[in-house]
Amino acid sequence: MAAASMIRSVFKKELFSGKVAIVTGGATGLGRAITEELSSLGCKVVIASRRLENLEKAAQEINEAIPISLRPRVFPYQCNIRNEEQVKSLMKYTIDTHGALDYLVNNGGGQFASPAISAKGWLAVVETNLTGTFYCCKHAYNEWMAGHGGAIVNIIADMYKGFPNMAHTGAARAGVQNLMMSLALEWADCGIRINCVSPGIIYSETAAKNYGGRHVFDEGLHIIPAKRLGIPEEVSGAVCFLLSPAASYITGTTIKVDGGQSFYRSPFTIPEHNSFPPPLEDPELNSKL
């Protein structure tokens, strides 16, 4: 991952000067790229996830790349987004310590590949991705944004053709997208904009490690019109755009950062079979086939 001073953002240098953001899962992968770009553009960023050690290391590395007089800009805070009390404390800490909460990026989450998951596995994924996002939105609203406005971006996933082998996350991410649309309407009168960014297959060491290595991501190349994987910085740019004044009239929408994958091929193949019922279960109609 590039040091913050090396970030080549297309946005102007002080775009987010004086602003305060929370990025969940901000120590690794996409979240880290988002944190690096936001902080390089003047934003204070609270990064929140379960593993404090990871958070502290990332914050230190990113802060060290920022001129001493402007440090620190990145602040670690341990929080499991599945725990509502911890989420509430994250919001309170951010507002008490940094005086505002202008932006929320709901990036923390994930899943595992499994065709038939246990109820416990289903709940772990739905609670993390859908309920965790709901908790973060709810408490950002209650603690700050209802009275001051703000912008929220949720990271979802390419679930538009269903998500076989990851049905748990497909259901959760579709839920997040619909939640986003409802909140865009419910909270418009408070000056809150809320949108989603939907990544395709984005390579980072931590993400690939979760699936057994880079080769698993490379196996997806045949379903990507761009014929390459994405990188976290390509997702970060879309998030920064949606948070910025350039998106002041954008709410309730989803930007896909996927090299065209979402409307091309599915990675899932269906075995040959003759298990489907005949047309209308009528032998006469069936004979037309």
Ligand X SMILES: NC(=O)C1=CN([C@@H]2O[C@H](COP(=O)(O)OP(=O)(O)OC[C@H]3O[C@@H](n4cnc5c(N)ncnc54)[C@H](OP(=O)(O)O)[C@@H]3O)[C@@H](O)[C@H]2O)C=CC1
Number of chain residues interacting with ligand LOHRUJSQ (CB under 6 A)? 19
**Residue 60 and residue 171: Cα distance in Å, rounded?**
36
Asked if residues 100 and 144 have their Cβ atoms less than 8 Å apart, the reply is yes
Report how many residues bind ligand X under the rule CB under 6 A: 30
Q: Is 75 helix (H, G, I), strand (E, B) or coil?
A: strand
Q: How many CB atoms lie within 10 A of CB 142?
A: 12
Among ligand X, ligand LOHRUJSQ, none, what binds residue 27 when CB lies within 5 to 8 Å by partner kind?
ligand X
Pairwise CA distance, residues 32 & 177, whole Å: 22
Contact between residue 20 and residue 103 where contact means Cβ atoms under 8 Å apart = yes
Q: Does 164 bind ligand LOHRUJSQ (CB under 6 A)?
A: no
| Mask for 202-221, x = binds ligand LOHRUJSQ (CB under 6 A) | -----x--xx----xx--x-
121 binds, among ligand X, ligand LOHRUJSQ, none (CB under 5 to 8 A by kind): ligand LOHRUJSQ
Other C-beta atoms closer than 10 Å to the C-beta of 282 total 10
The alpha carbon of residue 44 and the mean position of all alpha carbons in its chain are separated, in whole angstroms, by: 19
| 237 sits near ligand X (criterion: CB under 6 A) | no
With beta carbons less than 8 A apart as the criterion, state whether 100 and 146 touch: no
Tokens of 10: 């297309």
User: Of the candidates 20, 125, 155, 247, which one interacts with ligand X according to CB under 6 A?
Assistant: 155
Binding mask 88-127 for ligand LOHRUJSQ (x = CB under 6 A): ----------------------xxxxx---x-xx--xx--
Q: Looking at beta carbons only, is 126 or 192 nearer to ligand X?
A: 126
Instruction: Scan residues 220-279 and list those touching ligand LOHRUJSQ (CB under 6 A).
Output: 220
Q: Cβ(37)–Cβ(62) under 8 Å?
A: no
Q: Which does 125 bind (CB under 5 to 8 A by kind): ligand X, ligand LOHRUJSQ, none?
A: ligand LOHRUJSQ
Place of tokens 């009275």: 147
165 part of the interface to ligand X, by CB under 6 A: no
Shortest reach from residue 100's CB to ligand LOHRUJSQ, in Å:
29
> What beta strand segments (E) does the chain contain?
20-24, 44-49, 74-78, 103-106, 150-155, 192-199, 254-257
Residues that bind ligand X (CB under 6 A): 24-25, 27-31, 49-51, 54, 79-82, 107-110, 128, 132, 155, 157, 199, 201-202, 204, 206-207, 210
